[in-house]
C-alpha cells in the first residue's frame, strides 16, 4: 500500500509526540470532507500515514478521537465567545450582539470543528473532559443572558437567565446550522445570517417585555439603562 512509505516517518514522529496531533488533523480533514460519520478509525490512521493499530496508542476508538476534536473545538469556541463578550463592554447589548456574530463566524469558518461538536452524535456527558469544555463555552452565553435579563424594564418580571441563555443559544445554533456554515450545506437567503439572528433575538426580547424597535445596523444604546424604544435610553 502506498501509504506504507510514510509509515516509518509517522512512527518516528510518534516517539517525538507527534502521532496524536497527526491523527487529530487527519480526522479533522476527514470530517471536513465526509462528515463525522463518514470515515473509520482505519481511515484516520491511513490518512495520518500510520498502521491501523497505531491510533490505539492514544485513543480507545473512533469516538474518543472525535471527542478529542470536539473538545478542542469547544475550547476555541470558548475563547472566541469570551473575546466577543469582553465582559459586556462597552454595553450589554453591543457585547451581546458580538457574541451572536462570533457564534455564526465560528460555524462558518470552522465547519469541521462545529460538526464534531454538534453533529457527531456523541453523547457529550459520556466524556467528562468534553462535557467540561462544552459547559465553559455555554457559560459565556449564560453570563451574557444574565446581564441582558437585568435590563428588563421596571415593572416587568425578570426572565430566568438560564431560560434566556437556552433560548438564545437555540436560535444561534439554528441559524448557524442552516445558514451560517462555510460548506456546501449553507442555504441561500435574502439577508445575512447575522441580520437574521439579530431580528430573531429582538422579536424574542419583545415577547419577554423588552421594549425595542431596533433594526439591524441601528446604533447600540449608550449605556445599560432600560430603553423604550431600545436604543433611546430613558
pTM exceeds cut of 0.75: yes
Query: In this predicted model, what pLDDT tens digit does every residue of 45-79 receive, in sequence order?
Result: 999 999 999 999 999 999 999 999 999 999 999 99
Q: Average pLDDT for residues 150-154, to the nearest whole number?
A: 85
- Report the mean per-residue pLDDT for the chain: 83
Contact criterion met (CB below 8 Å) for 175 and 193: yes
What is the SS3 assignment for the chain?
CHHHHHHHHHHHHHHCCCHHHHHHHHHHHHHHHHCCCCCCHHHHHHHHCCCCCHHHHCCCCHHHHHHHHHHHHHHHHHHHHHHHHHHHCCCHHHHHHHHHHHHHHHHHHCHHHHHHHHCCCCCHHHCHHHHHHHHHHHHHHHHHHHHHHCCCCCCCCCCCHHHHHHHHHHHHHHHHHHCCCCCCCCCCCCCCHHHHHHHHHHHHHHHCCCCECCCCCCCCCCCCCCECCECCEC
Q: Average pLDDT for residues 197-215, to the nearest whole number?
A: 79
In angstroms, the Cα distances linking 149 to 50, 143, 160, 209 are 52, 10, 7, 11
Q: Hey, what's the cell of 146?
A: 444574565
Q: What confidence score (pLDDT) does residue 212 get? A: 56
Query: In this predicted model, what pLDDT tens digit does every residue of 119-151 receive, in sequence order?
Result: 999 888 889 999 999 999 999 999 999 999 888
Residue with cell 516517539: 15
Q: Which of 13-17, 190-194, 196-200 is least confident?
A: 13-17
Residue with cell 442552516: 178
Q: Average pLDDT for residues 99-122, to the nearest whole number?
A: 94
* N-to-C CA span, the chain: 73
* CA–CA separation, 72 and 191 (whole Å): 31
Q: What confidence score (pLDDT) does residue 63 get? A: 93
Higher pLDDT, 211 or 179: 179
Query: Going from the N-terminus, what domains does the chain have, and what CATH number goes with each?
Result: 2-57 (no CATH), 68-207 (1.10.357.10)
Q: What confidence score (pLDDT) does residue 26 get? A: 95
Check residue 188 and give left, alpha or beta (phi > 0: left; psi -120 to 50: alpha).
beta
Amino acid at each position: 500500500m502506498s501509504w506504507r512509505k510514510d509509515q516509518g516517518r509517522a512512527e518516528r514522529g510518534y516517539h517525538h509526540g507527534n502521532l496524536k496531533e497527526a491523527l487529530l488533523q487527519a480526522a479533522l480533514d476527514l470530517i471536513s470532507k465526509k462528515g463525522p460519520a463518514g470515515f473509520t478509525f482505519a481511515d484516520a490512521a491511513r490518512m495520518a500515514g500510520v498502521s491501523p493499530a497505531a491510533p490505539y496508542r492514544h485513543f480507545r476508538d473512533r469516538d474518543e478521537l472525535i471527542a478529542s476534536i470536539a473538545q478542542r473545538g469547544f475550547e476555541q469556541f470558548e475563547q472566541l465567545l469570551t473575546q466577543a463578550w469582553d465582559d459586556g463592554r462597552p454595553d450589554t447589548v453591543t457585547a451581546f450582539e458580538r457574541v451572536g456574530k462570533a457564534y455564526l463566524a465560528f460555524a462558518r469558518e470552522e465547519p469541521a470543528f462545529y460538526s464534531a461538536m454538534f453533529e457527531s452524535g456523541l453523547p457529550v456527558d459520556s466524556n467528562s473532559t468534553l462535557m467540561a469544555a462544552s459547559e465553559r463555552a455555554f457559560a459565556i452565553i449564560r453570563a451574557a443572558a444574565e446581564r441582558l435579563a437585568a435590563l428588563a424594564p421596571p415593572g416587568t418580571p425578570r426572565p430566568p437567565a438560564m431560560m434566556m441563555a437556552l433560548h438564545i443559544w437555540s436560535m444561534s445554533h439554528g441559524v448557524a446550522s442552516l445558514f451560517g456554515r462555510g460548506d456546501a450545506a449553507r442555504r441561500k437567503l435574502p439577508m445575512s445570517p447575522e441580520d437574521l439572528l439579530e431580528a430573531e433575538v429582538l422579536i424574542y426580547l419583545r415577547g419577554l417585555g423588552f421594549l425595542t424597535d431596533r433594526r439591524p445596523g441601528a446604533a447600540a444604546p449608550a449605556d445599560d439603562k432600560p430603553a423604550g424604544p431600545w436604543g433611546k435610553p430613558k
